[in-house]
Amino acid sequence: MIRTTALSTPLEVPQPRSAWLSRRDFLRSSAATLAGSAFGSLPAFAQFKGERPKQAEGVTVLNPRGRVPVSFIIDDSTCLVNLAHFCIPHFAEVFPDKYKQDWKKLPREIPDSFVREFGEWCGEREIKGKYSCIPYPACVGWIDRDMPGWSKKELLESVKLVREFMMPNWDIHPEMVTHTWAIDTKTGRAYDNRDDKHLENWEFSQNKSADELANYIAYALKPLKNAGLVCEGITTPGGFGNKNRDALARATYQACRDVFKTEIPHYFRHLFTDPKQSVAPRVEFAAGIDGDKPECVVSIIGCTGDWFGGWDGLERGTVDQFITKDGKGGRLPQVIAAGEPTIMVCHWPGIYFNGEKVGFNIFKEVVKRLNDHHKNLLWMKNSEIARYWVAKELTRIDKLENGLKLQAPYACPAFTLQLPEMAKGEIKHAGKPLAEVKQVLGLKSGTFFSDKGSVTVCFDLPKGASALGW
């Protein structure tokens, strides 16, 4: 369990009620308007960071291979079930004035043929990200047992598709248990109450302790494990944990460690579209970084609204909100210019917009424009970004007479440092020479690039002590 101190309570300035908009509410409304009214006024939330090491002056940890990480977060996905079709009547039961859509007209299924088409297209372009797999979607059925409305064979084939076809390039997350009604983990049944206090998206999680949330999150993780899916993190459904961030972070760590022995748990809870708000991952509750049993949890942050097709099939998105044809406008160039992980957010029902490929086609054009205008991008899974940011912030770096000493609590591939022109001649890491490349975009593990009074080195960082010498 993460160690706590007197400082481990949330260090947050009290916020107006509007600052607690759920991610789902945020995405249902105009992102441009809400960015100013809700998140634009929200200071960088002061989650407890924990320990930080000394890092030598003049040495800068760059992005991996000197590139900008890019990722794609897919919410509201699972096996077979179109969550929008089944969850809207649940929400309407509590909020009849807000959810008046004729949900019966929505497709009940997002077919595996579409999952395969999407996955193949992304695989050909080395696109990576996060794909939710809700274990008991809208109480329809369990992905590790039965899904009423589909045969056992269809369910097994769908799970296999996620496991063997998606999982290599996509982190698999639960989006809690049902994404609608909260489940009593003692009985396995939804609570009888029909109010916002018993909807996962709203108030259910807001007054729970870290242990209570960890129990609930673990309950969501176990069916995925039973189905042969591996999870290094979680996604929060709607507003889950948004007023209980301290407990949410610690519960994520506890549940992922307990169920999957995850080394670096991460969670997706927040997105910001205000260009003044950093979207860099938050490494939280770091402890024991000088020992052999370090601890931390990482908050992954999205940088866009769902401008593909939404979660409910009501509003078609547009490409230009992400990136304009000339590559100068839209949200993505802002984040790329800042050098922060550029993590787009969507909902799976909108990618398959009412049985059409509206969101998918928008995504295709977004990727094309990114490739046309940016040659310095690196697609990464959320877990890969989390690992890199942990190494970036928690690796101790000390100067030696002819090199650097590194003490890393976690291993990390393609760790990239920029050094002043103090490195002369042959450069070695862990006794192995690095090969020189002629341009910064040629950097990969085991290489260095020298230019304009500085040297950039890239190598696989092992856990524990290692040295960079020249």
HEC states along 135-163?
CCHHHCCCCCCCCCCCCHHHHHHHHHHHH
Q: Which amino acid is at 95?
A: F
CA triple 467-339-348, angle to 5 deg: 110
Domain boundaries, given as residue ranges, for the chain: 17-58+68-388, 396-469
Q: Distance between CA atoms of 259 and 234, rounded to whole angstroms?
A: 12
For residue 315, give both structure tokens: 């509003």
397 φ, ψ to 5°? Answer: -130, 115
How many angstroms separate the CA atoms of 230 and 413, rounded?
A: 20
Structural contact between residues 211 and 255, judged by C-beta atoms closer than 8 angstroms = no
User: Does residue 212 have a pLDDT over 90?
Assistant: yes
pLDDT of residue 114: 98
Comparison of pLDDT for 256 and 18, the residue scoring more:
256
Q: Which of 236, 270, 319 is nearest to 39 (CA)?
A: 270
Q: Work out the pLDDT band at 424, boundaries 50, 70, 90.
A: low
CATH of domain 17-58+68-388: 3.20.20.370
The average confidence (pLDDT) of the chain is 90
pLDDT given at position 426? 87
Q: Give the confidence band of 25 by pLDDT, cuts at 50, 70, 90.
A: very low
For 211, half-sphere exposure in the C-beta direction (CA atoms, 13 angstrom radius) is 1
Angle of CA points 450, 456, 462, to nearest 5°: 140
Residue 43: pLDDT band with limits 50, 70, 90: very low
Tokens read off for 277: 């708000």
Q: Among candidates 227, 85, 222, 219, which has minimal Cα distance to 152? A: 227
Confidence check: pLDDT of 100 > 90: yes
- Beta-bridge partner residues of 183: 190
For residue 232, what are the contacts with CB-CB under 8 A and spacing of at least 6?
171, 256, 260, 262, 264, 265, 266, 383, 386
Provide the 3-class DSSP secondary structure of residue 417.
strand
Model confidence band, residue 117 (pLDDT cutoffs 50, 70, 90): very high
40: nearest Cα among 274, 270, 269: 274
pLDDT of residue 28: 40
Residue 2: predicted pLDDT: 30
